[in-house]
Amino acid sequence: MADAASSHAPQPTGATGVLVLADGQVAWGRGFGAEGSAVGEVCFNTAMTGYQEVLTDPSYAGQIVTFTFPHIGNVGVNEEDLEAQVDGAVGCVVREDVTAPSNFRSQDTLGAWMASKGKIGLAGVDTRALTRRVRVDGAPNAVIAHSAAGTFDIPALLRQAREWPGLEGMDLARVVSRHAAQDWTGGAWHLGSGYEAADDAGKPHVVAIDYGAKDNIFRNLVRAGARVTVVPAQTSLEDVLALKPAGVFLSNGPGDPAATGEYAVPVIKGLLERDVPIFGICLGHQMLGLAAGAATTKMHQGHRGANHPVKRLADGMVEITSMNHGFAVDNAALPDTVEETHVSLFDGSNCGLAVKGKKAFGVQYHPEASPGPQDSFYLFEKFVGMLK
């Protein structure tokens, strides 16, 4: 990576894409996907599979994903593997050029699909160097840009990166959330037949609050034996209770949990006061923690990937988990009313909690992403089991 202000960093011949960091560093490469520019926080993801799910995860809103695995796009994309219909990541950075897809389920190339979704890609970058930059100095703000003609105004892109306020203090849940309540109808996926229809007869009713949810969460709740109604992030306590939930699920989502908590925490506190069972994932886990008196903090680099070991403190079991978060519940200052249930074996950060005396728990990771691949499905069964 070169410095934007350096006279020794000219645009290489054939460069049609660029990443400009707010600190002035520049990475040139070959653009793909949509043309234009987009600003966001640079992060890295260590998963070897699931790039389509990553790029359509609403939790990545406002972020530029650097994939550490070099071969991205080689199985194409399809409509069945979308995690949501709303915007997720603004773009991605990859090591190798995206090749033609080789998979019988592929319906389009990654580049064409990204262009249709307005997402910008950058190939040919030393992703190891960029990943080290994030690990050492933290996740930087940056602009990713693609121009087929290779025309870029680097000083303007640098100003854009420096003027972007960053994710801290930003509420993105209301941006990516559904705008109306929806009865969830999809079940498990089967090769050759797609997603099965949900059978709601006699099943406990879960109201899921959508802070930027991944659709596979709802499919796993159905698989565990629930019927699900999904409601927008800013749904009031009165409207949630009017649906007569047997339990409430708090979804994943992007942005600063403290900002989303301004409207989410009072609702969750009301549910806790009424002893409504609660299960939270990722941002939902953080919302539950805030409602129970804990605090959240911005992480240096965050956790993103499908290979994160987490220790379950009750019995020492280690789960291989999928993660995507740049904020965490501060486990150095948990109130007496909160029990820590899981910790990261990478850095000891909080990965699970339970509210004492309540049927309320959450995990920082994503059990619906099938890491392990089934290490964490028991959490859905545990929650639905509380409701029967």
Residue 331 phi/psi, 5-degree rounding, is: -80, 0
Of all residues in the chain, what percent carry a pLDDT higher than 70? Answer: 98
Say whether both 149 and 236 belong to one domain. Answer: no
Q: Pick the last residue of a domain from 163, 198, 225.
A: 163
Say whether both 149 and 179 belong to one domain. Answer: no
Say whether both 252 and 108 belong to one domain. Answer: no
Say whether both 208 and 354 belong to one domain. Answer: yes
Q: How confident is the model at residue 372 (pLDDT cuts 50, 70, 90)?
A: confident
Say whether both 128 and 251 belong to one domain. Answer: no
Q: Pick the last residue of a domain from 163, 197, 232.
A: 163
User: Tens digit of pLDDT for each residue in 219-228?
Assistant: 999 999 999 9
27 three-state secondary structure: strand
**Per the domain annotation, does 97 fall within a domain?**
yes
Residue corresponding to tokens 């003609």: 149
Tokens standing for residue 244: 């007569």
Q: How confident is the model at residue 8 (pLDDT cuts 50, 70, 90)?
A: very low
Does residue 322 carry a pLDDT above 70?
yes
User: Tens digit of pLDDT for each residue in 281-313?
Assistant: 999 999 999 999 999 999 999 999 999 999 999
Pairing verdict, β 36-45 and 91-93? unpaired
**Per the domain annotation, does 168 fall within a domain?**
no
**Per the domain annotation, does 351 fall within a domain?**
yes
Quote the pLDDT of residue 9.
66
Note down the domain range covering 279: 173-387
**Per the domain annotation, does 199 fall within a domain?**
yes
User: Tens digit of pLDDT for each residue in 193-210?
Assistant: 888 887 888 999 999 999
Say whether both 154 and 194 belong to one domain. Answer: no
Residues labelled catalytic? 282, 366, 368
User: Tens digit of pLDDT for each residue in 16-36?
Assistant: 999 999 999 999 999 999 999
Say whether both 239 and 375 belong to one domain. Answer: yes
Say whether both 125 and 214 belong to one domain. Answer: no
Q: What is the CA radius of gyration of the chain?
A: 21
DSSP letters, 32-71, are EES-EEEEEEEEEE--SS-HHHHHT-GGGTTEEEEESSS-
Quote the pLDDT of residue 311.
98
Instruction: Give the predicted TM-score (pTM) of the model.
Output: 0.95
Q: Pick the last residue of a domain from 163, 184, 207.
A: 163
Quote the pLDDT of residue 187.
86
User: Tens digit of pLDDT for each residue in 339-358?
Assistant: 999 999 999 999 999 999 99
Quote the pLDDT of residue 7.
38
Tokens standing for residue 314: 């009750």
Using an 8 Å Cβ cutoff, are 120 and 36 in contact?
Answer: yes
At 49, which CATH number? 3.50.30.20
Q: How confident is the model at residue 188 (pLDDT cuts 50, 70, 90)?
A: confident
User: Tens digit of pLDDT for each residue in 47-102?
Assistant: 999 999 999 999 999 999 999 999 999 999 999 999 998 989 999 999 999 999 99
Say whether both 150 and 182 belong to one domain. Answer: no
Lowest-pLDDT choice from 3-17, 131-145, 328-342: 3-17
Quote the pLDDT of residue 10.
84
Domain count, the chain: 2
**Per the domain annotation, does 358 fall within a domain?**
yes
| Alpha carbon 374 to its chain's center | 19
At 282, which CATH number? 3.40.50.880
